[in-house]
């Protein structure tokens, strides 16, 4: 796969992650999952502004974020755009943000039960 | 924390105390600088007024304080010409003397529909007093510097369209405090200056005492009515200061992005989403405050309604693109704001100072409302310029697009492809504006971490 296709794939994975995150927000725009979905879409647009999408068998936000990172890591250093590391660093951060949100949601749910 | 107008007045009061303690002489240069700074500040307060009624005694008192300032050393601005009355005031003469000079040709003037205009060159004003510097150590120079910073702060806030205008009561409070400081400084200067320069401080002391007594009592401005210096990265630290800095940086980056000829659609959507996230943070803070549920319910409902409108506005751009990626600056600022807001909206921890965090979010809500007025016109502009694209399969069905649909290509979007774009955009703008206006501008946290009290009706 070409570097361009790898970037498109990473962006598509991020958009899938955003869609799943929105679903976890259960239609409430003020839910923290809706907020992270927005920031995931922003990074996806940086990797591929043309909004490509790809069907994916994965059904978990974290899996999609991890898959996006895998796609990025397959980009050849020679073909990578000059700001590649900028976007990759943000995807790594997104993964950390999603993990933190997961823990926070889990502790809130645990506290409620 | 960023410096505010009330903070600068408090600092000036401490400096006045230092002036009372010192026995060092006050020079003519120091006095002239202070004198001119006070006049400039009064001029700015009159200029920034809003919502003044003709019968408003506070507004009238402030206007008279400015109008009756005894023979200003220099004009407060750099206008090229002045009216008869302004000229008379600047020269310490009466209107009729100036009129006679104009009529007998000894003073140059242009006759206009609004009366005579006298060029600045005719005033033969002396040298402009040197503005006090932050490195000056004499207390009177420091006092002039603090009031000068306050003036600059008012100017900056007046020119920042996202901030609400200064209301009459807020301007009156600042004016009254300024006159009290002026009277105190003038009285003390009389004791510290050479006898031959005592006339001017004496005149100003008399004037300030008379002018400030005309004001009725008022409370210090709070919230967005308390102009603040925009925080820089130097303020970045944990908690509310970080929040304030993040919001400011994000709003600047968004404005920069919106100036682009072809902005990124994802940024246009993200502005809505950051607004929603801020509303969520406000909701969390109010939830933490020990408020009655009945008092919270209407606030919560309104925040949710506005958030939904912003969400619909963002959703209307779905499947469209201009092909432009978001800028690095915007992404950095948006990610930083996300991280800061997420600390409030998730259960990881409420801000240590909810009152200050609320003020930062209140400013943020005004920033969002202002940015929405820039986002809404982008839809018709991009459509008209034919730089907005949509996946053919998501646009209107058109036989001419069949090939594009089959190949999964994008086509130029027309108004019929995105029928809700303008309508939802306007609704989002309207609700963001009304939300910012409806949020309580005055909140009070009597003790650290204590409740926030709603002071406005939602």
Please report the sign of the dihedral spanned by the C-alpha atoms of residue B94, residue B99, residue B102, residue B105. Answer: negative
Determine, yes or no, domain membership for B198: yes
| Other residues' Cβ atoms within 10 Å of the Cβ of residue B258 | 17
- Give the separation between CA A73 and CA A6, rounded to whole angstroms: 9
Residue matched to tokens 């009285």? B187
Query: What are the residues of chain B with a beta carbon less than 8 Å away from any beta carbon of chain A?
Result: 264-267, 269-270, 273-274, 276-277, 279-280, 283, 303-304, 307-308, 310-311, 314, 319-326, 328, 331, 334-335, 338-339, 341-342, 345-348, 389, 391, 410
Determine, yes or no, domain membership for B83: no
Residue A65 confidence (pLDDT): 95
ipTM of the complex model: 0.94
Per the model's pLDDT, the better-predicted residue between B123 and B29 turns out to be: B29
User: Each residue of B155-172: pLDDT tens digit?
Assistant: 888 877 667 778 888 889
- Give the separation between CA B20 and CA B139, rounded to whole angstroms: 9
The last residue of one of the domains, among B185, B205, B225, is: B225
Taking 50 as the threshold, does the pLDDT of residue B429 lie above it?
Answer: yes
Determine, yes or no, domain membership for B81: no
Domain extent, residue B282, equals 233-438
The last residue of one of the domains, among B206, B225, B244, is: B225
Determine, yes or no, domain membership for B451: no
Same domain? For B304 and B172 the reply is: no
Query: Is residue A96 helix, strand or coil?
Result: helix
The pTM for the full model equals: 0.64
Residue B53 confidence (pLDDT): 64
Cβ-based neighbours of B397, under 8 Å, separated by 6 or more: none
Determine, yes or no, domain membership for B115: no
Residue B452 confidence (pLDDT): 44
Determine the distance in angstroms separating the CA of B222 from the nearest CA of chain A, rounded to an integer.
Answer: 27
Half-sphere exposure in the Cβ direction for B201 (13 Å, CA)? 27
**CB environment B71-107: b (16+ within 10 A), e (fewer):** ebbbbbeeeebbbbebbbbbbeeeeeebbebbeeeeb
User: Each residue of B327-340: pLDDT tens digit?
Assistant: 999 999 999 999 99
User: Each residue of B124-152: pLDDT tens digit?
Assistant: 777 778 887 777 789 999 999 999 999 98
Same domain? For B265 and B352 the reply is: yes
- Give the separation between CA B146 and CA B6, rounded to whole angstroms: 11
Residues of B in contact with A101 (CB under 8 A): 342, 346
Chosen from A7, A18, A35, A111 to mutate, greatest number of chain B CBs within 10 A: A35
- Give the separation between CA B277 and CA B271, rounded to whole angstroms: 10
Taking 50 as the threshold, does the pLDDT of residue B449 lie above it?
Answer: no
Q: Write the burial class of residue A39 (CB in 10 Å: 0-12 exposed, 13-18 middle, 19+ buried).
A: buried
Nearest residue, CB atoms, A29 vs list B264, B308, B334? B308
Note whether B280 contacts A43, CB cutoff 8 Å: no
Nearest residue to A28 via CA among B279, B199, B8: B279
Residue B356 confidence (pLDDT): 79
User: Each residue of A18-40: pLDDT tens digit?
Assistant: 999 999 988 899 999 999 999 99
Residue B137 confidence (pLDDT): 83
Q: Which helix (H) or strand (E) holds B323?
A: none
Residue B151 confidence (pLDDT): 92
* Nearest residue in B to A89, CA atom: B332
Note whether B334 contacts A39, CB cutoff 8 Å: yes
Determine, yes or no, domain membership for B14: yes
Same domain? For B272 and B368 the reply is: yes
Residue B445 confidence (pLDDT): 42
Residues of A in contact with B310 (CB under 8 A): 29
- Give the separation between CA B303 and CA B282, rounded to whole angstroms: 8
- Give the separation between CA B243 and CA B357, rounded to whole angstroms: 7
Same domain? For B281 and B408 the reply is: yes
Per the model's pLDDT, the better-predicted residue between A52 and B370 turns out to be: B370
Nearest residue to B277 via CA among A73, A9, A31: A31
Taking 80 as the threshold, does the pLDDT of residue B322 lie above it?
Answer: yes
Determine, yes or no, domain membership for B156: yes
DSSP B320: E
Cβ-based neighbours of B142, under 8 Å, separated by 6 or more: B15, B18, B132, B136
Break chain A into its structural domains and give their ranges: 3-108
Q: For residue B32, name the pLDDT band (cuts at 50, 70, 90).
A: very high
- Give the separation between CA B6 and CA B226, rounded to whole angstroms: 7
Domain count of the fold of chain B: 2
Same domain? For B206 and B267 the reply is: no
**B169 close to B221: Cβ distance less than 8 angstroms:** yes
For chain B, give the number of residues: 458
Average pLDDT over all residues of chain B: 84
Determine, yes or no, domain membership for B130: yes
* Residue A7 Rama label (left phi>0; alpha psi -120 to 50; beta): alpha
Window from B114-123, B229-238, B351-360 with minimum mean pLDDT: B229-238
Same domain? For B281 and B424 the reply is: yes
Write down the H helix ranges in chain A. 3-24, 32-47, 61-73, 84-112
Per the model's pLDDT, the better-predicted residue between B139 and B1 turns out to be: B139
Nearest residue, CB atoms, B321 vs list A30, A49, A101? A49
Same domain? For B332 and B387 the reply is: yes
**B305 close to B275: Cβ distance less than 8 angstroms:** no
Same domain? For B210 and B263 the reply is: no
Window from A95-104, B230-239, B292-301 with minimum mean pLDDT: B230-239
């Amino acid at each position: 796969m070409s570097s361009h296709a790898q970037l498109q794939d990473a962006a598509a994975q991020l958009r899938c992650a955003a869609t799943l995150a929105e679903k976890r927000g259960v239609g409430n725009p003020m839910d923290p999952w809706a907020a992270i979905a927005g920031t995931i879409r922003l990074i996806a647009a940086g990797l591929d502004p043309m909004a490509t999408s790809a069907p994916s068998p994965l059904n978990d936000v974290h899996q999609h974020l991890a898959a996006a990172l895998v796609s990025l890591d397959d980009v050849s250093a020679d073909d990578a755009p000059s700001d590649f590391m900028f976007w990759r660093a943000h995807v790594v951060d997104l993964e950390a943000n999603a993990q933190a949100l997961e823990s926070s949601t889990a502790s809130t749910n645990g506290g409620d039960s | 924390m960023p410096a505010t107008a009330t903070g600068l007045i408090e600092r000036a009061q401490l400096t006045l105390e230092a002036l009372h303690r010192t026995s060092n002489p006050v020079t003519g240069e120091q006095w002239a600088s202070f004198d001119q700074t006070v006049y400039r500040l009064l001029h700015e307060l009159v200029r920034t007024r809003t919502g003044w009624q003709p019968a408003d005694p506070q507004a009238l008192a402030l206007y008279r304080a400015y109008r009756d300032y005894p023979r200003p050393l220099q004009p407060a601005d750099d206008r090229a010409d002045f009216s008869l009355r302004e000229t008379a005031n600047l020269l310490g003469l009466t209107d009729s003397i100036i009129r006679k000079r104009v009529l007998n040709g000894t003073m140059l003037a242009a006759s206009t529909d609004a009366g005579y205009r006298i060029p600045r060159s005719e005033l033969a004003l002396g040298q402009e007093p040197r503005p006090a510097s932050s490195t000056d150590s004499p207390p009177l120079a420091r006092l002039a510097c603090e009031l000068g910073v306050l003036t600059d702060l008012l100017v900056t806030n007046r020119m920042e369209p996202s901030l609400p205008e200064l209301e009459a009561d807020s301007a009156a409070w600042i004016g009254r405090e300024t006159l009290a400081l002026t009277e105190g400084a003038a009285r003390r200067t009389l004791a510290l200056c050479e006898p031959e320069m005592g006339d001017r401080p004496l005149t100003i002391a008399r004037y300030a005492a008379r002018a400030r007594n005309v004001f009725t009592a008022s409370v210090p401005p709070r919230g967005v009515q308390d102009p603040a210096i925009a925080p820089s990265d130097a303020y970045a630290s944990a908690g509310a200061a970080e929040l304030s800095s993040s919001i400011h940086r994000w709003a600047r980056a968004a404005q920069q992005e919106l100036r682009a000829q072809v902005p990124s659609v994802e940024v246009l959507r993200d502005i809505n989403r950051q607004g929603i996230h801020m509303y969520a943070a406000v909701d969390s803070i109010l939830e933490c405050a020990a408020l009655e549920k009945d008092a919270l319910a209407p606030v919560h409902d309104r925040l949710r309604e506005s958030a939904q409108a912003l969400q619909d506005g963002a959703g209307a751009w779905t499947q469209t693109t201009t092909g432009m990626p978001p800028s690095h600056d915007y992404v950095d600022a948006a990610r930083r704001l996300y991280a800061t807001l997420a600390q409030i909206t998730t259960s990881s921890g409420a801000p240590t100072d909810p009152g200050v965090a609320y003020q930062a979010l209140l400013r943020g809500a005004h920033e969002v409302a202002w940015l929405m007025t820039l986002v809404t016109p982008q839809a018709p502009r991009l459509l008209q310029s034919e730089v907005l694209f949509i996946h053919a399969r998501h646009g209107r069905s058109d036989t001419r697009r069949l090939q594009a649909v089959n190949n999964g290509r994008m086509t130029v979007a027309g108004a019929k492809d995105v029928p809700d774009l303008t309508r939802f955009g306007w609704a989002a703008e309207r609700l963001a504006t009304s939300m910012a206006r409806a949020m309580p501008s005055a909140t009070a946290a009597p003790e650290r971490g204590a409740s926030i009290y709603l002071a406005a009706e939602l």
